[in-house]
Amino acid sequence: MIGNLIFKSTRFYSYLGLLLCSLMSAHAQERKNNVFGAVVNEKNIFIPYAQVSLKNSLDSNTVKTVLADSLGNFGFAIASGKYLIEVKSMGYRSAYTVTFEVTAVSSINLGSIALQIEPTQLGVVTVDAKLPFIERRADKVIVNLNGLGSGAPLMEVMNQLPGVTVDASDLISLNGKSVQIYIDGKVSALSADALSGLLKGISSAAIEKVELISQPSAKYDAAGNGAIINIIRKRSYKGGLDGNVYAGAGKGTYGKANGGVNLNYKGKGYNLLLNLDYNYNKYFYNTDIATNF
């Protein structure tokens, strides 16, 4: 009898609807960019596809990099902390914002970040062989690591690439799409767990570049509507023995360490490669969720 009265009450359904709307609103806010802005030039005209890097204010390490859209707009969905932003675009001087602090309830509009045109200097010509960090092509975005990660495991570096997200289960997505991993242009047939172990064991120092393909063409064997991340490893073209040794360590809630050896021997008509990688990382996740009605 009491149960029938509760379900017939319009007030019960009003409360239920209010609860569902609150949960949907909270979920939408979690995914919303809480730091955003736009990139313009000296004449206040939008600069499309500028490289925008979010950096930790304490050590200036890059947390995340994105490309501005065709209208110069960019955004980040980030956790609480103190950050600054670096903006780069070909033909312009790099620009930095002041340090700003993000809290759990803040939404920061950085406004328009103006870039100054790089002056043309005639005279001595200096050729710099270092490739740009991000190259935008018609069908893909190429990220030249250029030492990004300083030898850290590739899985840790993935989360710093534009549009790439790695969740707590080590599942990788690109612009919200599921990802198929290619290595040197060949599809990887490994399971999700094996692939995660492989990326944790590969040093970022052994990677030349990463190709991000959100809309694969017909030449790729993409599953369904997924995206592709093609990992291109470094190769040595000079004869003889060449290689490098790396090691790293860190301490969070638990300690972590990585190391390895990359050797390459090139002879007449053949090339031998040896990659030995070690990675130890015991993860710890502490999630606090608070809901107010």
Q: If you average pLDDT over every residue of the chain, what do you get?
A: 78
Instruction: Look at residue 80 in the predicted model and tell me its pLDDT.
Output: 87
Tens of pLDDT, residues 9-29: 455 455 545 444 444 444 433
Longest dimension (CA), the chain: 93
Phi, psi dihedral angles at 179 (to 5 degrees) = -120, 140
Q: What percent of the chain clears pLDDT 90, i.e. is strictly above it? A: 8
Arithmetic mean of pLDDT, 236-246:
70
Q: Which residues pair with 100 in a beta bridge?
A: 83
Q: Which pLDDT value is given to residue 18?
A: 47
Confidence at residue 34, expressed as pLDDT on a 0 to 100 scale:
82
Question: For the segment 158-217, what is each residue's pLDDT rounded down to a tens digit?
Answer: 888 888 888 888 888 888 888 888 888 888 777 777 788 878 878 888 888 899 988 887
| Closest to 227 (Cα-Cα) out of 217, 239, 213 | 213
Stated pTM of the model: 0.53
Please report how many Cα atoms fall inside a 13 Å half-sphere around the Cα of residue 292, on the Cβ side.
1
Give, as one character, the DSSP assignment of residue 160: T
